[in-house]
Amino acid sequence: MLRIAVQSKGRLFDDTMNLLSEADIRIPSSKRTLLVESSNFPLEVLFLRDDDIPQSVANGVADIGIVGENEFRERQEDAEVIEKLGFSKCRLSLAIPKTEKYNGIEYFEGKKIATSYPTILRNFLANKGVNADIHVITGSVEISPGIGLADAIFDIVSSGSTLTHNNLKEVEIVMKSEAILIANKQMEAAKKTILKEMLFRFSAVRSAQDKKYVMMNAPKDKVKEITEVLPGIKSPTIIPLADADWCSIHTVLDEKRFWEIIGKLKELGAQGILVSPIEKMIL
């Protein structure tokens, strides 16, 4: 049985539960239980505070964990980063009052900076040769300048709306973060086998993201031109139709270029274009 540590609430919790669900790993819904077992996969989920996850994995309380890269770098625990997961993206940034003029990193020399991430901030400032007074607080860091507790803040930024609401502006992005999967370095072989299967499922889910399955009818004399504009995974599937002059072409398109490519297909004579979402994709 593999044990995974997961944040007990918040956006990272929601994103992690969605990933497990899409990988067909069923977890009973219970907000009062610390440890729950999957009903169809050899996995148990340990719900923890996000800042407790790195240590729990490093110490072997959990075999693996999903945590924000920012928390992992801050805690500096001895665990292995398996892979980045591509969700719960944010950044750690320095922000100052909107009315302040900012001319560069030397602005922070001698300033008091409020943060919940003193290790990351201290390392960043040391590399820049800046001496500042780092004031460690938990909770609502962004209110610190407004109440006179600090001159600036160093905190997580997603959309930036919280900074705007507190009359702050982002001036330096120190690191970009997303959810990562970490593992205990002493994990036994049997658990590594389970992890391998889980990673295979995660890969299938992520490969399908932002992809569309496209089917169309096309004149046979236009097949070569059509296939040249299709950036499919490999070669598109071509199926003959009852009309000897026509065929059906099936492929996968990236959603980012979808409308651009569809327009070219129509110009080349493609008709009856059918688009479907993809749930999983095994490469």
Confidence of residue 29 (pLDDT cuts 50, 70, 90): confident
Same-domain status, 112 and 135: yes
Q: What number is the average pLDDT over the span 111-122?
A: 97
Same-domain status, 68 and 110: no
Predicted confidence at residue 229, as pLDDT, reads 87
Confidence of residue 90 (pLDDT cuts 50, 70, 90): very high
Give Cβ neighbours of residue 57 (< 8 Å, ≥ 6 apart).
5, 63, 64, 65, 77, 79, 182, 183, 184
Residue of 132 and 229 predicted with greater confidence: 132
- Could you give the CA distance from residue 29 to residue 24 in angstroms, rounded to a whole number? 14
Lowest mean pLDDT among 30-39, 47-56, 213-222: 30-39
Predicted confidence at residue 230, as pLDDT, reads 86
Q: What's the whole-number average pLDDT of the chain? A: 93
Residue 117 located in a structural domain: yes
Same-domain status, 189 and 167: no
Residue 236 located in a structural domain: yes
- The answer, yes or no, to whether residue 163 has pLDDT greater than 90, is yes
Same-domain status, 187 and 134: no
CATH code for position 149? 3.40.190.10
Same-domain status, 151 and 257: no
Residue 184 located in a structural domain: yes
pLDDT tens figures, 223-248? 999 988 887 556 789 999 999 999 99
Q: What number is the average pLDDT over the span 3-24?
A: 95
Same-domain status, 103 and 226: no
Same-domain status, 14 and 30: yes
Which amino acid does the sequence have at 272? Answer: G
Percent above pLDDT 70 for the chain: 98
CATH code for position 256? 3.30.70.120
Predicted confidence at residue 55, as pLDDT, reads 97
Predicted confidence at residue 201, as pLDDT, reads 95
Tell me the residue range of the domain where 119 lies. 90-177
Same-domain status, 64 and 44: yes
Final residue in a domain of this structure, among 158, 192, 207: 207
Q: What number is the average pLDDT over the span 33-43?
A: 94
Same-domain status, 52 and 126: no
Burial classification of residue 256, based on how many CB atoms lie within 10 Å of its CB (0-12 exposed, 13-18 middle, 19 or more buried): exposed
Residue 282 located in a structural domain: no
Same-domain status, 196 and 65: yes
- The answer, yes or no, to whether residue 52 has pLDDT greater than 60, is yes
- Could you give the CA distance from residue 222 to residue 187 in angstroms, rounded to a whole number? 55
Query: Structure pTM?
Result: 0.84
Predicted confidence at residue 33, as pLDDT, reads 80
Residue 67 located in a structural domain: yes
Structure tokens, 163: 């900074």
Is the torsion defined by CA of 249, 254, 259, 261 positive or negative?
negative
Predicted confidence at residue 233, as pLDDT, reads 56
- The answer, yes or no, to whether residue 144 has pLDDT greater than 90, is yes
- The answer, yes or no, to whether residue 283 has pLDDT greater than 80, is no
Structure tokens, 63: 């075999």
Residue 215 located in a structural domain: yes
Residue 43, strand partner residues: 2
Predicted confidence at residue 70, as pLDDT, reads 96
Q: What number is the average pLDDT over the span 155-173?
A: 93
**Residue 228 CB coordination number (10 Å):** 10
Residue 155 located in a structural domain: yes
Same-domain status, 69 and 95: no
- The answer, yes or no, to whether residue 160 has pLDDT greater than 70, is yes
Give Cβ neighbours of residue 64 (< 8 Å, ≥ 6 apart).
2, 3, 4, 5, 57, 82, 181, 182, 183, 184, 187, 195
Long-range contact pairs involving 136-144 (C-beta distance under 8 Å, separation at least 24)? 141/114, 141/115, 141/116, 142/95, 142/166, 142/168, 144/114
Same-domain status, 83 and 183: yes
Confidence of residue 282 (pLDDT cuts 50, 70, 90): confident
Number of structural domains the chain divides into? 3
Confidence of residue 254 (pLDDT cuts 50, 70, 90): confident
